[in-house]
Amino acid sequence: MDHHILNIKKNNTPQILFIYLLVLLSIALAGTAGYFFYKYQKLSQNPVIEQISDQEEEQKLVNNISKLMLLPKEETPTVATVSDIDKLKDQIFFKNATNGNKVLIYPNSKLAIIYDPQANLIVNVGPINFSGQPTPSAQNPQIGLRNGTNIVGLTYKVETVITKSYPNIDVVLKEQDKRTDYVKTIVVVLNEATKDTADKIAKTLNSQIVNLPPGEIKPEGVDILIIVGKDKN
């Protein structure tokens, strides 16, 4: 593994930093499955990550992101910088990331965030599954959200509604759609085993179930795709 793809910043021991690095690299390796996992490896078999301390920069980063989305409280994230996106481009979680983007890991809350500090934009958000075992799609559908508008924050608004109404549902993908002219929110069933759940979600969102629109790319590891329109503003 190339330990320079992501540069970690965290105020902790080198051993803990290395374990978190394994989490980040596992995200890159397991992103296409729609969930993240890592396995503990003996530190003696791997080099130790150099500790870098910059609490002021880290706090500023968290403050900026907290204005765009709700962050876990009473938990300090591990922060990494994407430094070689070419080696991560084939992983769905890093699909829209670029060099210089920040990756925040909240291990207790099982949450990973990619943030673009230059554009002040949330690039992607995903759950971390420390068990390494995905749950069956029919029981826990994997939901993907795309913002089909140029209005910031709509995917987070829809995610809040969905997760509150359906606690067993996992939102594994949030990204900006290449189109920004969607007026109505649509629900696309990508896994027929989750059609009943998709029907319920469509009713909750006052939306319709449609086929994948022309030009839209089917996301990997997603059972139900929701493209958010301007009606959710």
| Residues 77 and 150 reside in one and the same domain | no
Question: pLDDT digit string (tens) for 46-63?
Answer: 333 233 346 777 888 999
Is 19 within a domain? yes
Is 136 within a domain? no
CB neighbours (10 Å) of residue 203?
A: 12
Separation between Cα atoms, residue 219 and residue 110, nearest integer Å: 22
Separation between Cα atoms, residue 127 and residue 3, nearest integer Å: 22
Is 1 within a domain? no
| Residues 16 and 117 reside in one and the same domain | yes
pLDDT category at 138 given cuts 50, 70, 90 is: very low
Closest CA to 179 of 215, 211, 206, 207: 215
| Residues 153 and 226 reside in one and the same domain | yes
What is the count of structural domains for the chain? 2
Closest CA to 199 of 169, 231, 224, 233: 224
Token pair in block for residue 220: 């990997």
CATH (domain of 221): 3.30.70
Is 73 within a domain? yes
Mean pLDDT of 20-38: 43
Question: pLDDT digit string (tens) for 168-210?
Answer: 788 999 999 999 999 999 999 998 888 989 999 999 999 999 9
Q: Which range of residues forms the domain containing residue 212?
A: 142-232
**DSSP-derived secondary structure letter, 198:** H
Q: Which of helix, strand or coil describes residue 175?
A: strand
Beta strands (DSSP E) in the chain are 6-9, 78-82, 102-106, 111-116, 121-127, 142-147, 170-176, 186-189, 208-209, 224-228
CB neighbours (10 Å) of residue 190?
A: 19
Token pair in block for residue 1: 């593994």
Is 221 within a domain? yes
